[in-house]
């Protein structure tokens, strides 16, 4: 009986954690949306390349663009020592493969109405995200 109660309590805690955990999604009110809203989609595609797909949605067209491929390498971190030499390795260097994917909502007059970021990496420290840095020129 105690095992059932403990199992049920564990399951309840696990479910409670799942329902209260916020899903982190990139909102469209970022620098990319601010920079490109109201601009011609032709200018965007001329600067960054063609979209990978397009879908008609009412009077608008949803274009999916993917690009800005880059590798970011972080340096290894070492513990400080008294004599100024490198101490014990705390964290090894690692590679991050960056890319950006956005969905552009384009009206029938080929003007960008909305930019939704689909795939992005946060910036280092307080820097803007990778898509914001690449597409908005931050």
In which band, very low, low, confident or very high, does the pLDDT at 108 lie, cut at 50, 70 and 90? Answer: very high
Arithmetic mean of pLDDT, 32-36: 93
Long-range CB pairs of 102-105 (<8 Å, 24+ gap) are 102/32, 102/64, 102/65, 102/131, 102/135, 103/62, 103/63, 103/64, 103/65, 104/36, 104/41, 104/44, 104/51, 104/62, 104/63, 104/64, 104/65, 105/57, 105/60, 105/61, 105/62
Residue 9 is predicted with a pLDDT of 56
What integer pLDDT is reported at residue 7 of this predicted model?
60
Which pLDDT belongs to residue 41? 95
pLDDT, residue 118, reads 94
Which pLDDT score, from 0 to 100, does residue 21 have?
31
> What is the mean predicted confidence (pLDDT) over 73-96?
86
Predicted local distance difference test score (pLDDT) of residue 93: 85
Tell me what the mean pLDDT of segment 89-111 comes to: 92
Domain limits, the chain: 26-135
Task: Supply the mean pLDDT for the chain.
Answer: 82
Over residues 38-55, the mean pLDDT reads 95
């Amino acid at each position: 009986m105690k095992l059932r109660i403990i199992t049920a309590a564990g399951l309840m805690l696990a479910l409670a954690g799942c329902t209260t955990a916020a899903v982190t999604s990139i909102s469209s009110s970022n620098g990319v949306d601010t920079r490109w809203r109201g601009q011609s989609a032709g200018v965007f595609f001329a600067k960054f390349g063609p979209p990978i797909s397009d879908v008609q949605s009412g009077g608008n067209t949803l274009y999916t663009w993917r690009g800005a491929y880059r590798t970011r390498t972080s340096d290894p971190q070492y513990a400080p020592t008294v004599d100024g030499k490198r101490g014990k390795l705390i964290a090894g260097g690692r590679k991050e493969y960056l890319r950006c994917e956005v969905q552009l909502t384009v009206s029938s007059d080929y003007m960008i109405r909305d930019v939704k970021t689909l795939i992005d990496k946060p910036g280092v420290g307080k820097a803007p995200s990778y898509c914001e840095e690449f597409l908005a020129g931050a």
